[in-house]
Amino acid sequence: MRTKKRASLLIFAIWVLVFFSILSVGIYKIVSSQITVAKVLEERLVSLSAANAAVAYVKRVRQGDGTAYDTLYEFSSDFEGELGKGRFKYTIVDEESKININKVTEEIIANLPGLDEEAASAIKESPLYPFELVEEVLLVEGITEDKYKEFKDIITVYGDGAVNINTASEETLKVLGCNDDLINGIKAYRSGPDFQEGTEDDVAFESVEVTEVSSFLEDQTLLISLKGKKLLGVSSNNLAVKINTEILDRPAMRYIIIMEGEKIKRWKEY
């Protein structure tokens, strides 16, 4: 009888141990998942706060800029700051250094890398035109991902269509129809005494008037034509702020924020 009793108690004890083992595993999984969720939420909150701090900093810098023009040097540096546990690093891309695909002619769209007159016509005739996002161009028939990759970095849907002559790339100027002489003249003028763009001694076009360009370019006909079509300007009101955040020195969320003046037009995680 004693042996049977001991055996019963042993079996009961084993079942109790099994029960509590299963229970502890379940509790561990629940607690572990809650900790993971909490960490994700904390990362998002801290990253979001850091991103907002970066936006505030951009606004403050822009408010302090008293010039009526914007240069490549203003947007060429990386910036960073701290906010509690978080850090942020950001760069600024001038959206108005690009071609606004909603504002230009088929002829200019056809000049984009990888495109032709047929593709330009398809873009203009798309039911999505004018586009709200540059990615919508991928939905146009005949525009493959490979083609899109060739020109995606020089198009935008923001701004009034005037490309900032102070920040436009050589590729963008070519798409507008600028010849090599004009492009070389523009770059030489912008680079300043050290003949290198994106440095502190850069020279800015304060306007696109003929009187300003006559000192470095003999034939201003093409420049005058682009100005007359309102395809050239000297300032930028639409910026893409690319932000990388860190929490306790670990990479966290990344954002692209499109700003028009102080107004946020798009907020995207990537």
Instruction: Report the pLDDT value the prediction gives residue 108, as an integer from 0 to 100.
Output: 96
- Tell me the two tokens of residue 177: 């129809």
Nearest CA to 226 out of 188, 189, 190, 177 is that of 177
Checking DSSP bridges between strand 163-164 and strand 232-233, what pairing results, if any? parallel
Helix-then-strand count for the chain, H and E: 8, 9
CA–CA gap between residue 192 and residue 25 (Å, rounded): 69
User: Could you identify the residue written with the tokens 């873009």?
Assistant: 123
Amino acid at 245: T
Among 170, 160, 159, 120, CA closest to 142: 120
Question: CA 235, CA 265: separation in Å to the nearest integer?
Answer: 18
- Block mean pLDDT (10 aa), the chain, length 270: 59 64 62 51 81 92 88 87 88 96 96 96 96 96 95 97 95 93 87 89 82 60 80 94 92 95 92
Task: Say what the pLDDT of residue 228 is.
Answer: 82
Pick from 179, 37, 177, 162: nearest CA to 98: 162
CA–CA distance, 82 with 78 (Å, rounded to integer): 14
CB distance 79 to 90 below 8 Å? yes
Write down the H helix ranges in the chain: 2-63, 106-110, 117-125, 145-151, 170-176, 180-191, 210-213, 221-228
Residues contacting residue 101 through CB under 8 Å, at least 6 positions apart: 109, 123, 131, 134, 137, 155, 156, 157
Supply the pLDDT for residue 10: 64
Q: Residue 235 is which amino acid?
A: S
Q: If residue 244 lies in a helix (H) or strand (E), which one and from where to where?
A: strand 238-247
DSSP 138: G
Res 84: pLDDT: 82
* Model pLDDT, residue 9: 62
For the chain, the helix, strand and coil percentages under 3-state DSSP, each to the nearest 5: 50, 20, 35
d(CA 137, CA 130): 10
